[in-house]
Amino acid sequence: MKKLHINTIGCQMNVYDSERIASSVQPLGYRLTDSPDQADMIIVNTCAIREKAVQKVFSYLGRIAGLKQARPDLILAVGGCVAQQEGEKILKRAPYVDLVFGTHAIGRLPLLIDKIERKRNRLVDIEMGSRIDEPEERVAAQGKSEVSRFVTIMQGSDNFCTYCVVPYVRGRESSRQPEKIITEIEGLVQNGVREVTLLGQNVNSYGKKEGLLDFTQLIEKINDINGLERIRFTTSHPKDLSDELIAAFGRLGKLCHHIHLPVQSGSDRILKKMNRNYTRDQYLDRINRLREACPDIAITSDIIVGFPGETGDDFVATADLIETVGFDGLFAFKYSDRPNAPATRFVHKVNEDDQNRRLQKVLELQENITTGRNRALVEQTVEVLVESHRLKPGKPAGGSTPDGEAANTASAGQWTGRTSTNKIVHMPANAVITGRAGAIEKGSLILVTIKKALAHSLWGVPAESGARNVSGSKGESSHAA
Ligand code: 5AD
């Protein structure tokens, strides 16, 4: 048996693609290993969204170059968005790389690897089709026992935001057939999965081009899958967020109360230059409608600071929007030029110092808002899907847990899960073992009373009453360990 190590850099879609990659080379005898030192093949799955991610790829390649020198038989492959963007150039810049394969080449990977194994030649495959590369591999068959998994439902983007590299590295928008998506999720559920996150660059336009079901209809079908508990999705484009989808949050039992709705800027002038196709007021209107349909919905967003031409006033408008909405969480980025993206040619670039200051300001602002929102949950009882258990060896027990129950936390460890609103909740495992909830395991959906709010997570204990253990049938518990 041969060993494969995959280093995944970048977004959830890359995580999903890495699972596909692992499945696709299984027939060639490759099984996953966490250790690059023991691998017969190392695949780096890369991200091109910002300059920093690209630098990360090349510095990783530099670090593993020595492995190839020591073991010339080791196969090194670079896939994903940087591979798509740079192609041949990677072979020149990193002469120890054997294979460069683009975002549409995963289906062809077994053939490519087989060729390299037999002939030891160096290959590049960055051909892009217009249709989605429908996964043929059984992604479920990874022997994993995860509670929550990603499922890509569409690829590419037709939006052409002026800062964005996606259309050039992932191609144009194309949606998977609904039946294939449903079958895949049913397979995952049979393997113990309780939650899926549907992935696409702009899931709101799912199926439109092809005349398939629309996104809300797709979610309705997924909502009917027995044994599945939760549905999440990412990412939505504000301009395409439909009334039907907004209504679905209040109506479909499995649809989690969270939406990631990147706003990018609070200034209409900048939104226009970004080619976002909505105004600040339109964005705020959608937020209001979401909260009307689903009062406890959590809303997170992305912000780009220092877009070309962003003035102090534009930035003030962004800071003001952040406060007005009161996001539950925010990802903020300094603008960076990307190959082919039109904004790269825009004048009036914002200098690094101003970018840093603005980024810092956004992070501070949001930290306060997030902490306030988390504090509001203390003493509330929320439903948590338990995702993992962690023993924290060597850590002193003292004081880190909410309500003085810390005494034997160090030995029992902690359970971690998420609320429907996507907030991370830790629970001291001793509180579970000694008491009230009965046996908790991975995949349990339980009621938890929040006892303490930190900046990025919550601590809680299983609620006195009503803990429910939906995955409780013993037949399923084998997936829990
Ligand atoms: N510079 C900085 N941030 C960017 N993003 C996308 N392109 C760029 C860029 N060129 C951010 C956006 C997007 C997130 C995934 O990455 O905020 O929503």
Low-confidence ranges of the chain (pLDDT < 70): 136-145, 392-411, 431-439, 464-481
Helix (H, G, I), strand (E, B) or coil at 124: strand
* 474 exposure class (CB count in 10 Å sphere: 0-12, 13-18, 19+): exposed
**pTM, to two decimals:** 0.91
Q: What is the pLDDT of residue 476?
A: 31
Q: What is the pLDDT of residue 139?
A: 57
The pLDDT tens digits for 167-197 are: 999 999 999 999 999 999 999 999 999 999 9
DSSP code string of 193-262: --EEEEE-TTGGGTTTTTT---HHHHHHHHHT-TT--EEEEE---GGG--HHHHHHHHH-TTB-SEEE--
Given phi > 0 = left and psi -120 to 50 = alpha, else beta, which region is 306?
left
Q: What is the pLDDT of residue 479?
A: 29
Q: What is the pLDDT of residue 101?
A: 98
Ligand 1 centre distance from Cα of residue 51 (Å): 10
Q: Is 5 in the pocket of ligand 1 (CB under 6 A)?
A: no
Q: Is 13 in the pocket of ligand 1 (CB under 6 A)?
A: no
* Percent of residues in the chain assigned helix, strand, coil, to nearest 5: 40, 20, 40
> By C-alpha distance, which of 407, 467, 397 is closest to 435?
467
Residue with the smallest CA separation from ligand 1 atom 17 is 302
Ligand 1 centre distance from Cα of residue 333 (Å): 7
Q: What is the pLDDT of residue 132?
A: 82
Q: How far is CA 402 from the centre of its chain?
A: 29
- Rounded Cα gap, residues 86 and 63, in angstroms: 19
Q: Is 49 in the pocket of ligand 1 (CB under 6 A)?
A: yes
Q: What is the pLDDT of residue 403?
A: 47
The pLDDT tens digits for 76-95 are: 999 999 999 999 999 999 99
Q: What is the pLDDT of residue 396?
A: 41
Q: Is 262 in the pocket of ligand 1 (CB under 6 A)?
A: yes
